[in-house]
Structure 1
Amino acid sequence: MDNILSVQNIEKYYGKKGNVTKALDGISLNIDKGEFLGIMGPSGSGKTTLLNCISTIDKVTTGEIIVNDKNITKMRTKKLDKFRRDELGFIFQDFNLLDTLTGYENIALALTIQEINPKKIDNLIKKVAETLEISPVLNKYPYEMSGGQQQRIACARAIVTEPSLVLADEPTGALDSKSSRLLLESFERLNKELEATILLVTHDAFTASYANRIFFIKDGKIFNELVKGNDSRKEFFNRIIEVMTLLGGDVKDVF
């Protein structure tokens, strides 16, 4: 399989001499095209810092991050801006939709910035909307949608540009249980039907059970790795709980 993401022995320090915190400690991992990978860990484990470094929001102290054969740790600002626009899709906990635009217009915005032909824009939006089952709300404004519908519009916006990697940061955090399940089923369809490569950061075992592989982080290091394999989602969920129990600390957060 084609390698999309390679994280190579990265470290991240915060603070100044005499008061330094090591947030990431020699983390290495790889993601191939079409994988659905989860990152888990208790609060303060370093999972958000890892996501911030991969998304270029933050810079590593040492080590390298390579996305689609591009070494992002050596890119300058202008190249980073283009890289984010062309290679990454972002899904946030709080949707980040523009209230004055319809669902269709929110999705189209990313394509318009890339100066895509209007006819192609329409075809791309209809395709992703059908996959995510949001066609009926495309002409509605965010305030007219449920939280789950808003988040699926946000997913469509992230995936419609066909990025190399989709980064999802606690995407179910603001949703009720039914909306969360519908969103996660949408992630599965994106992964299987559109071959989207997804990196999902979450503290929630139910959410993580939809991934195909999970890295657990503790104290800035890789603690364990689980591969779903032929397990059912319920069986995978139980294995996740077992590892979270070994992790200790915020185990109660996974329920």
Structure 2
Amino acid sequence: MSKEILKVVNIEKYYGSKNNITKAINNISFKVEQGEFVGVMGASGSGKTTLLNCISTIDKVTSGYIYIGDQELTKLNSKKIAAFRREELGFIFQDFNLLDTLTAYENIALALAILKRDHKEIHKRIIDISEKLNISEVLNKFPYEMSGGQKQRVAAARAIITNPSLILADEPTGALDSKSAKVLLDSMESLNSSMNATIMMVTHDAFAASYAKRILFIKDGKIFNEIIRGKDSRKEFFNRIIEVVTLLGGDQRDVF
């Protein structure tokens, strides 16, 4: 039986004052099981980024509950949230968020050093993950010496190196050209299958979304639709994604 990694129960997120309230998230519930690769799509302003921010503990829900494993995030104080984020969550951001003064090796190692892991263990893990993500040749380079695709794969290595319960990717291909985006998505797909990494990716890009096994479509703060890849090829799944995007209204390049 699959282990439940993420459980979102009736969450709502309101912004504004009494007379001018915006419902960014309107009663959303869903689950993510261990080893799933879930995509989240929606128009700008649909609530998808707010949803990711609430799950990542960057933002707090107005009501409802979020569980990662058996931990209810809505009850954690700020100190426990910081520790939880370090130990249980991995992040891949659109703009890489690497430290310019550290090499790729040091950027990846930092996540483990904060957790006070042994030097030999850190080295072994970095060598292993760098081979999986094909970044061995850039480990001694600084971010300014790397391509965008290499930087994002270093960021992916940093996200997975601590063996987090959940990896949250926010528009990970947004700053990449199409070739680099494909290499990154192939790498994320590999992490998902070979390491059973659980990934939740917010994206506006149907091509990126086609790498996921399940897509949640968000509209006006609610789940509008959900599709599961099943035995579809990636091309077939891509076509189904486009169909839902069209249902949401307009051309996907304009809407997403």
Contact map agreement 1:168 1:199 (CA 8 A) in 2: yes
Inter-partner Cα distance in structure 2 for 1:36 and 1:155: 14
Inter-partner Cα distance in structure 2 for 1:169 and 1:230: 26
Per-residue CA deviations over 1:66-95 (Å, capped at 9, x if unaligned) read 001100011111110110000000100000
1:197 and 1:59, CA in 2 relative to 1: closer, same or farther beyond 3 A?
Answer: same
Q: For residue 44 of structure 1, what is the amino acid of its counterpart?
A: G
Contact map agreement 1:6 1:67 (CA 8 A) in 2: yes
Per-residue CA deviations over 1:156-177 (Å, capped at 9, x if unaligned) read 0010000000000000000000
**Partner residue in 1 for 2:178:** 177
Inter-partner Cα distance in structure 2 for 1:207 and 1:254: 16
Contact map agreement 1:167 1:200 (CA 8 A) in 2: yes
**Partner residue in 2 for 1:104:** 105
**Partner residue in 1 for 2:206:** 205
Kindly report the root-mean-square deviation, in angstroms, between the aligned alpha carbons of the 2 structures.
1.0
Deviation at 1:252, TM superposition (A): 2.4
1:187-206 equivalence runs, <5 A: 187-206=188-207
Q: For residue 187 of structure 1, what is the amino acid of its counterpart?
A: M
Unaligned runs of 5+ in 1: none
Per-residue CA deviations over 1:185-205 (Å, capped at 9, x if unaligned) read 000011011111000000110
1:194 and 1:254, CA in 2 relative to 1: closer, same or farther beyond 3 A?
Answer: farther
Per-residue CA deviations over 1:18-69 (Å, capped at 9, x if unaligned) read 0100111110010000100000011111000000000011100110000011
**Partner residue in 2 for 1:130:** 131
Q: For residue 11 of structure 1, what is the amino acid of its counterpart?
A: E
Deviation at 1:249, TM superposition (A): 4.7
Inter-partner Cα distance in structure 2 for 1:15 and 1:34: 37
Unaligned runs of 5+ in 2: none
Secondary structure, aligned partner of 1:29: strand
**Partner residue in 2 for 1:8:** 9
Q: What is the TM-score when the length of structure 1 is the normalising length?
A: 0.98
> Is 1:42 paired with 2:43?
yes
> Is 1:239 paired with 2:246?
no
Secondary structure, aligned partner of 2:95: coil
Inter-partner Cα distance in structure 1 for 2:84 and 2:244: 35
Contact map agreement 1:204 1:254 (CA 8 A) in 2: no
1:18-57 equivalence runs, <5 A: 18-57=19-58
Inter-partner Cα distance in structure 1 for 2:44 and 2:199: 22
Inter-partner Cα distance in structure 1 for 2:234 and 2:251: 22
Inter-partner Cα distance in structure 1 for 2:109 and 2:253: 40
Secondary structure, aligned partner of 1:63: strand
Q: What is the TM-score when the length of structure 2 is the normalising length?
A: 0.98
**Partner residue in 2 for 1:84:** 85
Secondary structure, aligned partner of 1:115: coil
Q: For residue 203 of structure 1, what is the amino acid of its counterpart?
A: H
Number of corresponding residues = 255
Inter-partner Cα distance in structure 2 for 1:60 and 1:100: 35
**Partner residue in 1 for 2:158:** 157
